Amino acid sequence: MNVRMRIAPSPTGYLHVGNARAALFNWLYARHTGGTFILRIDDTDLARSEPEYEDDVLVGLRWLGLDWDEGVEAGGPHGTYRQSDRLDRYREVAERLLATGAAYLCFCTPEELDERRKKAQAQGRPPGYDGRCRLLDPVEAGRRAAEGEPAVIRLAVARPGMTTFVDVVRDEVSFDHEAVDDFVLVRSDGSPTYHLASTVDDVDYEITHVARGEDLLSSTPKHILIARAMGASVPTYAHLPLLFGPDGRKLSKRHGDVSLKAYREGGYLPEAMFNYMSLLGWSFEAETTVFTKEQAIERFDLAAVSKNAAVFDPEKLEWMNGVYIRGLDPIEFIDRAIPFVEDELGRELSGVEREQLSALGPLVQERVKLLTEVPGMMSFVFATALTYDERSWRKVMEIDTTPGTLDAALDRLAIVGDWKAAAIERELRAMLDELGLSARKGLQPIRVAATGSTVSPPLFETLEVLGREVTLDRLRSARARL
RNA sequence: GGCCCCGUCGUCCAGCGGCCUAGGACGCCGGCCUUUCAAGCCGGUAACGCGGGUUCGAAUCCCGUCGGGGCUACCA
């Protein structure tokens, strides 16, 4: 059987990391099985759907490296893969279910339903719809609807009854139909509900495996019932553990950054994001946490997905991002970092500046966890008038050996023959000997003078990149400021 | 309230009846290295929610209990 899986986000907001994780698991399994991965846009909620969000979904998935074989922008045998283009189809299915008696018209008003629900809940009964309109004569009901009386279409759920299915991650799950009410398929304005649209699409697109968040577990009997009523086969379901925020609740906006976009712009590498997210509810192997996309595809299995919810841990993600940054080819690192530097600078870098950046690149690369940290770590190179970090200045410039150190450094650096890190180091170490200073004490003033901070890339290389003129200039300025 | 799901270090995972005096990773703490900061290396901290069974033997199976979560819409 050819595996066909889909991810069906609603473009009502930026791509959520929970959805991105679900997309990732679907993609991994599709790739693992040599199946087909499909991107469908569930935009039945016309009021809240925005093109900007749809765009963000596409950009986000591509950024993560999740390519789709069918769907929006990729095409395929099923049209546009957008629910808003299939309204007629949902209507058609609903009419047929109505005709076969699998569904019925309901004229209860929202107010009545609300009232009855409250009462049921107060009495400890299942709060769902009580099925009252099911008793109506279909012909009579049809006439009322034709006359314009507002009506919804509900599925006639078998009662008594029970729906049982085997969930790939949770094994067998059953729902007594006591708790599955005759839910709405089509609203009184003629629009399909999520349950109808999503299930019809899954059937029409011949989806074989539905892997989605556990929040949809209790809706699954509804989807199975619709598929069966359509005379279609039921896909295999896999309900993925939910992603929690640090407070142990479903990850949502109030937890801060829940959009993938925030991570894309926050200096994270897609490889790291991919790796980290794949660990939320799954493990590559007991002792291994860092692995490639290919390795993940090779080993991924829905049946091995964990049942318990996972807390999204930003600290571990950041650590992992550092691992991936350090693993980057130096050229690649600079290429990826440059946009962040230019963004911070508000202008493009010149050729010379790019070279300086490249020279310092490998030294900075192993010191950052996020690409967004690069500008802060390199900006001193481009500064025309250096600003000193106040704490750094107080800590090392206001001690009594500093003036002498700077004077000595100035003298020695002026005569360094070949302005290279090795020569600079030789000269400065000789200076330390002469002054009887430890490297720790003697080099810090030079660092602060040259970079403005006690924290910087290694000093000798840094001075080499700055060049003799700029270095001497900065030492003089600092000396004058003492 | 009803239904459903879940319960191993603070967090993410490993464990699927004996290999467990419970393993890895993040974090945290300490040390080494060191021109700062990182990185790296070494070491440490820390968990089977609880109570009953089943079994020669239970983190692993069963029941209960407690706890957490999800759903409960003419949202998705």
Within 8 A by CB and 6+ apart from A50, the residues are: A11, A12
Q: Look up the protein residue whose alpha carbon has the minimum distance to the C1' of B40.
A: A366
pLDDT at A76: 95
pLDDT, one tens digit per residue, over A151-205 is: 999 999 999 999 999 999 999 999 999 889 999 999 999 999 999 999 999 999 9
Using CA atoms, how far residue A141 sits from A132, A185, A187, A342, in Å, is 13, 16, 16, 67
- Residue A302 (CA) to nucleotide B25 (C1'), in angstroms, measures 22
Q: Give the start-end residues of each E strand in A49-150.
A: 70-71, 103-106
Q: How far is CA A119 from the centre of its chain?
A: 42
pLDDT at A117: 86
Task: Quote ipTM for the complex.
Answer: 0.95
The protein footprint on chain B, as nucleotides within 7 A of a CB, is 1-8, 10-15, 23-27, 34-40, 68-76
Closest-lying nucleotide for A368 based on CA to C1': B38
- Residue A465 (CA) to nucleotide B36 (C1'), in angstroms, measures 17
d(CA A293, CA A308): 24
pLDDT, one tens digit per residue, over A295-330 is: 999 999 999 999 999 999 999 999 999 999 999 999
Average pLDDT score over residue span A209-238: 97
Whole-model pTM: value is 0.94
Closest-lying nucleotide for A198 based on CA to C1': B76
Q: Does residue A311 reach within 7 angstroms of strand B, measured from its CB? A: yes
Q: Look up the protein residue whose alpha carbon has the minimum distance to the C1' of B14.
A: A286
- Provide the angle, in degrees to the nearest 10, between the axes of the packed helices A402-414 and A421-435: 140
Angle at CA of residue A423, ends A418 and A427, nearest 5°: 120
- Residue A269 (CA) to nucleotide B35 (C1'), in angstroms, measures 30
Using CA atoms, how far residue A109 sits from A128, A129, A130, A136, A183, in Å, is 14, 12, 13, 15, 14
- Provide the angle, in degrees to the nearest 10, between the axes of the packed helices A421-435 and A459-466: 120
Closest-lying nucleotide for A214 based on CA to C1': B70
pLDDT at A72: 95
Check if A119 is active-site. Answer: no
pLDDT at A71: 97
Average pLDDT score over residue span A356-374: 95
Q: For residue A300, what are its two tokens?
A: 């991924």
Q: Which carries the bigger pLDDT value, residue A384 or residue A210?
A: A210
